[in-house]
Copies of this chain bind each other. A is one copy, B any other.
Amino acid sequence: MRDIDEHTITAAVLASLEACDDQRLRQILGALVSHLHDFVREVQLTEEEWLQGIRFLTATGQACTDTRQEFILLSDTLGVSMLTVALNQRRSPAATEATVLGPFHVDDAPRAEQGQDIAAGAPGRPLDVDIVVRSSDGSPLAGADVDVWQADEDGLYDVQAGTQRRARALMKTDAEGRLRFRAIVPTGYPVPTDGPVGRMLVASGRHPWRPAHIHFIIKAQDHETLTTHLFREGDPYLDSDVVFGVRKSLVTKMDAGLTYTFVLDRKE
């Protein structure tokens, strides 16, 4: 393995993985190395550009906190997140489509009851939400866990605004699979531009906007978990979402009220 050159190095790295017992890990690392090397060779990366890349990745990692995930934002803005979501959509035609998780989900959202105002002081125009969760055979899913989060009218999530948890909640559907609560009308917002990913967007001439949306994760017994958004009809950024997440089927009216039926596939 002495004197490997720019052509033989890829085979040398793949050979170093031969003792890997975990076949899936070996497959993933091997493919990653092959594609990464192809990228470096294709653009004939300079050493200065390599160092800029190292600094960018380091800054991206160091921008991550308990409440900000800059690497998810990077994955989102490069289309890697939505590609992964698309590859893993094994849903029936009736089931609601998935989209990206995004960087602002937290695990410790407050619990809320039917009818509650989950805005909890977040500024914005009130929105009465009335949703139903069904199985793909049409039967209502009672007691489904519904995890909701959204930005306020200034385009900020609670974790960005530095407030207590607000405009997010963990709720459950009732016996008819229905859940009503009060939230706020979502507004479009730019993804954070004060970090390395924002600087990449600016440098590459891209706008940082996401169309207005509300996030949902819905879990029901014996069903596939659904991670998705609902998008606000009429938003000017529906056709240029910076994270490539819009699905036509997820665009809906959100003026004073929002009604929607989510359909989950039964687990195979």
Chain A, 67-93, contact with B by CB distance < 8 Å: what is the 0/1 string?
Answer: 001011001001111111111100000
Is A5 among interface residues, defined by CB-CB distance under 8 A?
yes
Q: Which of A19-27, A122-130, A163-171, A260-268 contacts B (4 or more CB under 8 A)?
A: A19-27
Judge whether A83 and B40 touch: CB under 8 Å.
yes
Is there a chain B Cβ closer than 8 Å to A13's Cβ?
yes
Q: CB distance B39 to A32 under 8 Å?
A: yes
Taking a contact as CB atoms under 8 Å apart, the answer to whether B37 and A54 are in contact is no
Query: Interface digits, A1-41 against B, CB 8 Å rule (1 contact, 0 not)?
Result: 11111100110110011111110011111011111111111
Whether B45 pairs with A87 at a CB distance below 8 angstroms is: yes
Q: From A2, A4, A9, A25, name the one whose CB has the most chain B CB atoms within 10 angstroms.
A: A2
A162 within 8 A of B: no
Within 8 Å CB of A31, what residues of B? 39, 42-43
The distance in angstroms between the C-alpha atoms of A32 and B75, with both chains bound, is: 12
Q: Is A136 close to B, CB under 8 A?
A: no
Q: A1 contacts B241, CB within 8 Å? A: yes
| B residues in contact with A12, CB < 8 Å | 79, 244
Contact with B along A35-65 (1 / 0, CB 8 A): 1111111111111011000100111111010
Cβ of A32 to closest chain B Cβ, rounded Å: 6
User: Which of B18, B40, B87 is A84 in contact with, Cβ under 8 Å?
Assistant: B40
Closest CB in chain B relative to A177 CB, distance in Å: 25
Contact among B17, B41, B200, B240 with A87 in the assembled complex (CB-CB below 8 Å): B41
Does A206 have its Cβ within 8 Å of any Cβ on chain B?
Answer: yes
Q: Which of A168-186 contact B (CB under 8 A)?
A: none
Top 8 A-B pairs, shortest CB-CB distance: A61-B61, A19-B205, A13-B79, A6-B86, A35-B39, A20-B205, A20-B204, A35-B35
Q: What 8 additional pairs, Cβ within 8 angstroms, besides A6-B87, A58-B61, A61-B64?
A: A4-B86, A9-B79, A16-B206, A16-B240, A25-B204, A29-B204, A32-B39, A36-B80
Chain A interfacial positions (CB closer than 8 Å to B):
1-6, 9-10, 12-13, 16-22, 25-29, 31-47, 49-50, 54, 57-62, 64, 69, 71-72, 75, 78-88, 200, 203-206, 238-242, 244, 246-248, 251
A-B pairs with beta carbons under 8 Å apart, 21 shown: A2-B238, A2-B247, A3-B248, A6-B87, A9-B86, A12-B244, A13-B78, A18-B205, A19-B206, A20-B205, A31-B43, A32-B78, A36-B80, A37-B83, A40-B84, A47-B88, A54-B69, A57-B60, A58-B69, A61-B62, A62-B64
